[in-house]
Structure 1
Amino acid sequence: MQVKLVSWNVNGLRAVSAKDDWQWFANSTADIIGLQETKAMPEQLDASLTSPEGWTPYFASSTVKKGYSGVAVYTRTVPLAVQRELPLAEWQGEGRILHLEYEHFHYINGYFPNGGAEILDENGKHQGKFKRLEYKMGFFEAFLAYAQGLRAHKPVVVCGDFNIAHREIDLARPRQNVLNTGFLAEERAFLDRMTSLGWIDTFRHVHGDEKDAYSWWSYKSRAREKNIGWRIDYFFVSGELKDNISDAWIEKDQFGSDHCPVGLALSF
């Protein structure tokens, strides 16, 4: 049995679904689709998004700020259980996590925080400080503790927008971004720690050190046309699933958002 999973930061589900690019959803052969940055409550969506034929949808939406954050999962198989948000109250409210349990694995779809606005020094220079960096790192710690706990009982698949490029190979201009959130040493160290605990970056597992493989491009300066991008969207699996990985990919030619979809195939 093969399970095909796809993840996409759509940068607004209502916006992308109004574009021709959304034909991608109707054509999808995936078993599970995880979307991030949906920016909508379910009641704001039309029936084609809340009850599409052949899919069971689940939503976690921001309750602290409308039109912000949010994740969704469309699944062809009804899960055994569903958990919205991380268990601790301090990490709830922004609609960043959906956890579905299946027969063979736990599945987490996450839209992880970015570092927020930059804090410049008194001379207006970069100093590698950002307003939400502490929140971002705290959220990652809470997420990892939660995922590690799940892993004790069943293998885990994690997908989503991590808002971190792990290594220099994962962005087009690493030297210019060492003081920018998304490529700060402490952010990258978190992914180092994940991999040291046996979590597998499935794209790198399949494709090794393939260059110019990105999943996000700024809307500025024709960055996508020039492929000046970052790989910040991932599928990680716990080490127990290493031998189940059959393919991983980036759908770089799929438009509709500043991100493109990424995918994973597992065999059981």
Structure 2
Amino acid sequence: MAKFISWNIDSLNAALTSTSARAVMSQDVLRKIAAYDADIIAIQETKLPAEGPSATHVELLKSYFTGYHFEWVSSVPPAKKGYAGTMILYKEGLKAEKIVPKLGAPDTMDDEGRLIALEFDNFYFVNVYTPNSGDGLKRLKERQLWDSLYADYLSSLDQKKAVIACGDFNVAHKEIDLANPASNHFSAGFTDEEREGFTNLLAKGFTDSFRFIHGDVKDIYSWWGQRIKTSKINNSGWRIDYFIVSDRIKDKIQKSEMIDSGPRQDHTPILLEIEL
């Protein structure tokens, strides 16, 4: 049984080095993730420098995750500094080849460290931090192109071997994937265009593992906005973090669920267990 975890950490640097109340909550989540002893852990929104994790970051990361290799990609010029970024940790003993794809995406999206993959003997593992369409949907057109290019990329991998893709996809696919759909049809993450982009991705031969296991269950989310202090208490959330898998291995999925992050708002980690 292979075990995978994905989490948008909203600054690995802050989680590892800060002593703020929020950082302490993040550290609790890191310890919780470590206890699962997963084979692969994907992290999004690392917000590390262009040159990647410092020696201090590495030392602190290894204090949580002993016995793991890790690969990363950060935002580099002309993209913003300390922005986005992704990382994958995988157990020592596993053999993997790092891939940093360039989609040909618009604006600086290809330079923001949003996409990293590992090739294993019998599958690809892909970690994505999908661009947000932004306030006023100012980046929606660019986001639509990203979605199309990303779907084509996963499809190209799927031609060679099975794919497991995870991360913060920044879209609630269906009305049951957020608490208040009626008032959010023109909000970033729930526009018709973004939802259609995710539908198009699945149509290329992929399965949303959570829905495969749980069907149309409601009120289970992976993200609660930080701007509203009661969003998590009231479970006014969105499901925007996913593990998707090639259709041909969907019957091997054993578990797909959220990991409780306690009182910490923002994203909660997600878990996939699958027979590989």
Same fold (TM > 0.5): yes
Evaluate the alpha carbon distance shift between residue 179 and residue 87 of structure 1 in structure 2; reply closer, same or farther with a 3 A threshold: closer
- State the shift of 1:48 in Å: 2.3
1:186 matched to which residue of 2?
A: 193
- State the shift of 1:116 in Å: 1.3
Which one of the candidate residues 202, 206, 211 is aligned to 2:218?
211
Q: Is the Cα contact below 8 Å between 1:114 and 1:132 reproduced in 2? A: yes
Query: Which AA in structure 1 matches 2:111?
Result: G
**Residue 112 (str. 1) matches residue 125 (str. 2):** no
Which one of the candidate residues 40, 45, 60 is aligned to 1:37?
45
Which one of the candidate residues 101, 113, 120 is aligned to 1:85?
101
Q: CA RMSD in A?
A: 1.8
Distance 1:265 1:15 in 2: 29
- SS of aligned partner of 1:176: coil
Offset from partner CA, 1:184-241 (integer Å, 9 cap, x none):
0011111112222221000000011111010000111410111000000000001111
Matches within 5 A, 1:41-56: 41=49, 42-44=52-54, 45-49=57-61, 52-56=65-69
Evaluate the alpha carbon distance shift between residue 222 and residue 257 of structure 1 in structure 2; reply closer, same or farther with a 3 A threshold: closer
Q: Is the Cα contact below 8 Å between 2:221 and 2:239 reproduced in 1? A: yes
- State the shift of 1:263 in Å: 1.0
Evaluate the alpha carbon distance shift between residue 208 and residue 89 of structure 1 in structure 2; reply closer, same or farther with a 3 A threshold: closer
Query: Which AA in structure 2 matches 1:49?
Result: L
- State the aligned residue count: 256
TM-score between both structures, scaled by the size of structure 2: 0.87
Evaluate the alpha carbon distance shift between residue 28 and residue 199 of structure 1 in structure 2; reply closer, same or farther with a 3 A threshold: same
Matches within 5 A, 1:1-268: 2-17=1-16, 18=18, 19=24, 20-21=27-28, 22-41=30-49, 42-44=52-54, 45-49=57-61, 52-63=65-76, 64-76=79-91, 77-88=93-104, 90=106, 91-118=109-136, 130-219=137-226, 220-254=228-262, 256=264, 258-268=266-276
Distance 1:28 1:58 in 2: 20
Query: Which AA in structure 1 matches 2:101?
Result: E
TM-score between both structures, scaled by the size of structure 1: 0.90
Q: Is the Cα contact below 8 Å between 1:16 and 1:256 reproduced in 2? A: no
- SS of aligned partner of 1:175: coil
- State the shift of 1:67 in Å: 1.5
Distance 1:49 1:257 in 2: 22
Unmatched segments (≥5 aa) in structure 2 = 19-23
Evaluate the alpha carbon distance shift between residue 50 and residue 136 of structure 1 in structure 2; reply closer, same or farther with a 3 A threshold: farther
Offset from partner CA, 1:20-68 (integer Å, 9 cap, x none):
4132243231110000001013244242226852000111100121121
Q: Is the Cα contact below 8 Å between 1:86 and 1:146 reproduced in 2? A: no
Unmatched segments (≥5 aa) in structure 1 = 119-129
Distance 1:112 1:36 in 2: 9
- State the shift of 1:107 in Å: 0.7
Distance 2:251 2:188 in 1: 33
